[in-house]
Amino acid sequence: MFESAEIGHKIGKQAYKQALPELREALLQAQIELVQRKKTSVLLLISGQDGAGKGETINLLYEWMDPRFISTMAFSEPSEEERDRPPMWRYWRTLPPKGRMGVFAGSWYSDPMRDRIEGRLPVKALDARAEQINRFEAMLVNEGALLLKFWLHLTKAAQRKRLKALEADPHTAWRVTQWNWDRLKSFDVAQETAGHMLRITNTPWAPWAVVEASDDRYRELTVGRILLDALRSKLDSAEQAQTPVAPALPLLRVNVDKRNLLTELDLSLALGARAYQRELARWQGRLAELARDPRFKDHAVVCAFEGADAAGKGGATRRICAALDARQYQVIPVAAPTEEERVQPHLWRFWRHVPRRGQITIFDRTWYGRVLVERVEGYCAPDDWLRAYTEINDFEHELTEAGVIVVKFWLQTSREEQLERFRAREQVAHKRFKITEDDWRNRDKWDAYQQAVCDMVDRTSTGEAPWTLVESNDKPFARVKILRTLCERLEAALAAPPRRPLADKPPAAAKKKARAG
C-alpha cells in the first residue's frame, strides 16, 4: 500500500513556483462551479501519520480556495449528546450539504484503527467495521458525494525527523507531546494496521490516495492535483443519474399465484369493546412501566409506522403516546423533505431525529418511503430504490448495534375498508383535511403498492429489526397488537444482557481519539 510513497518524492522550489498559480486558479474555478451548481458535496478525509502535515494540508486548502464554502470537522472525544446515540450519528450530523466541501480531520476510520492498534479490536471485528464503512461510503457516493480519502505517509525515520523539527521550532513545539513520542514506538503496528485497513477500504468508488509526505512541496502539489482532477471529473461528467457503484440486490421475484404476505393476513380479526378496554389498559400500563424501567436508560426506541392512507397510524400513535411521559418522546411526521434535507443523503433527515438513550422517536411514515411511494410513483430511479434496501438495513443495523430498539409496523387494511374510511372522513369536519386528491389517486395503484410492501418486508425484515404486519380492518385489534408488540420487544431488549454501545467509551480513552486518524 505504501511502497510508492517511500521512494523519496521531491519537488524543487522552481518547479513548485511554476506549477502553483495554474493549480490554484483551476481549483478556485472548480470550487465556484461546485458552489453554484449544488449537485455534489465534497468530502475530503485527511488522514495519515502524526507529523505528516495533515493540519498544514488543510490550512493550504483554505488558502487556495474560498474558505466560506469549506468546513473542517474535527472529532475529539464524543460529546454527551453523541455518546447517547449510535457511533455514526456524529458523522451524519456533520456531512457537508451539496455545494460545500467538508474536510474531515479524523473520520469514521479513527475509532476502529485506534482500537485495533491498541489491541482492543480483533482483526475480524476490524474487517467487519471496514465492510460497514465500505457500504457507508458507497451510499455517500451514490447520493452524489465526491469522496476523497488521503493518507499522508511518512516512514518511521521521516516521522522522527519531522517530530524533532516541530519540537525545535518554538512556534510549533506545543504540537509535540510525550504521546507523540510514545506513539512512534508503536509505529510498526500502526503502519501494519493502516496498511490492512487501507487495502480493504480501497474501493473503486472511494479509493485511497496515499501521498508521500516528507517533502512539503511534493505533498502540497500532489494533494492539490488529485483534488483538482477529481473535482473536474465529477463536475464535467454527465449530470444524469449514474448506475450505483455498489451492487444492489437482484431484481424482484415474480408473483404467479396472486398470493402474497398481505393476502394471507386475516383481516377479519377484531376485538370487542370490553376486551379492547381491558387489553388497552393492560398494555398501556405495561408500556408505561417499561419506559420508566431503569434499564431502559441504556436503550432507545425507534418506532416506524407505515401503512396505506387511513390505515390507522395516527390512532395507534396516540395510544402509544398516552402511556408515555411527553418529555420522553417525539413524534415525527414525515412529509416532503425540506430544502436543507434535499441537499443531503436520503437517510440524513432520519438520522437527525435518532433518539438519545432513554428516549423514544415515533416516525409517522419513514425511510421506507423510498421503496414504497417513491418506487411506485417513479419519484426516484429503480437503481436508487433498489440500493435503498441495503442502505436501510445498514441504517437499522447501526441503530440496533447501539442499543436502539427498532420496531416497525405495517398497517394493512382491505381496499374496501379504506374506501369506507375515506368516505367517513369526508363527513367529519376536522378530518376532512386528511383526505386529499393524492389519497384518491393512490388507491388506483393499490396492487403496485401491495407488491412494494411485500418486497420491502422480504428484504428488510431482519432478526434485529423485524416487521410486524398488523391486521388493521378493526382499529381496536390493530392498536392492541401494536402496543403488545412494542411491549414485547422492549421486554426482550431489557432482559438481554446489556451491551455497551460502541460510542460509549470512558472519556480517558476517548481523549486520544482526536489524533488517531
Interaction of residue 436 with a second copy, rule CB under 8 A: no
Interaction with a second copy in 298-337: which residues (CB under 8 A)? 314, 317-318, 321-322, 325-327, 330-333
Between CA 203 and CA 132 the distance in angstroms is: 13
Local structure of residue 79 (DSSP, 8 states): P
Please state the closest distance from residue 285 (CB atom) to a second copy, in A. Answer: 7
Please state the closest distance from residue 303 (CB atom) to a second copy, in A. Answer: 12
Please state the closest distance from residue 256 (CB atom) to a second copy, in A. Answer: 40
Interaction of residue 438 with a second copy, rule CB under 8 A: no
Interaction of residue 508 with a second copy, rule CB under 8 A: no
Nearer to a second copy, 132 or 328 (CB): 328
Only one of the segments 70-78, 117-125, 187-195, 436-444 lies at the binding site for a second copy (rule: CB under 8 A); that segment is 70-78
Interaction of residue 280 with a second copy, rule CB under 8 A: no
Nearer to a second copy, 238 or 428 (CB): 428
Decide: 300 and 353 in contact? Cβ < 8 Å.
no
For 102, the enclosing helix (H) or strand (E) is: strand 101-105
- Report how far apart, in Å, the C-alpha atoms of 499 and of each of 326, 495, 503 are: 27, 11, 12
Interaction of residue 69 with a second copy, rule CB under 8 A: yes
Between CA 66 and CA 47 the distance in angstroms is: 22
Between CA 110 and CA 117 the distance in angstroms is: 11
Candidate list 62, 179, 181, 379; residue touching a second copy; CB under 8 A: 62
Candidate list 74, 125, 241, 275; residue touching a second copy; CB under 8 A: 74
Nearer to a second copy, 21 or 204 (CB): 21
Question: Which is nearest to 56 in space by CA: 65, 66, 68, 46?
Answer: 46
Interaction with a second copy in 332-361: which residues (CB under 8 A)? 332-333, 338-340
Nearer to a second copy, 156 or 175 (CB): 175
Torsion of CA 123, 125, 130, 131, to 10 degrees: 120
Between CA 145 and CA 483 the distance in angstroms is: 40
User: From its phi and psi, is residue 505 left (phi > 0), alpha (psi between -120 and 50) or beta?
Assistant: beta
Nearer to a second copy, 72 or 413 (CB): 72
Neighbours of 30 (CB within 10 A): 21
Q: Which residue has the cell 408473483?
A: 255
Candidate list 430, 444, 495, 497; residue touching a second copy; CB under 8 A: 430
Only one of the segments 25-33, 268-276, 394-402, 416-424 lies at the binding site for a second copy (rule: CB under 8 A); that segment is 25-33
Neighbours of 142 (CB within 10 A): 23
Interaction with a second copy in 213-272: which residues (CB under 8 A)? none
Nearer to a second copy, 120 or 431 (CB): 431
Please state the closest distance from residue 322 (CB atom) to a second copy, in A. Answer: 6
Interaction of residue 174 with a second copy, rule CB under 8 A: yes
Up-side HSE of residue 214: CA atoms within 13 Å toward CB? 15
Interaction of residue 393 with a second copy, rule CB under 8 A: no
Please state the closest distance from residue 157 (CB atom) to a second copy, in A. Answer: 27
Between CA 88 and CA 73 the distance in angstroms is: 14
Interaction with a second copy in 95-154: which residues (CB under 8 A)? 103, 105
Q: CA geometry: angle at 92 spanning 409 and 236, to 5°?
A: 110
Question: Hey, what amino acid is at 72?
Answer: T
Only one of the segments 22-30, 240-248, 419-427, 494-502 lies at the binding site for a second copy (rule: CB under 8 A); that segment is 22-30
Interaction of residue 68 with a second copy, rule CB under 8 A: yes
Decide: 340 and 365 in contact? Cβ < 8 Å.
no
Interaction of residue 277 with a second copy, rule CB under 8 A: no
Interaction of residue 364 with a second copy, rule CB under 8 A: yes
DSSP of 435-474? --HHHHHHHHTHHHHHHHHHHHHHHH--SSS-EEEEE-SS
Nearer to a second copy, 81 or 491 (CB): 81
Between CA 280 and CA 322 the distance in angstroms is: 11
Nearer to a second copy, 63 or 264 (CB): 63
The contact set with a second copy (CB under 8 A) reads 25, 28-29, 32, 36, 55, 58-59, 61-63, 66-74, 79-81, 103, 105, 171, 174, 285, 288, 292, 314, 317-318, 321-322, 325-327, 330-333, 338-340, 364, 429-430, 433
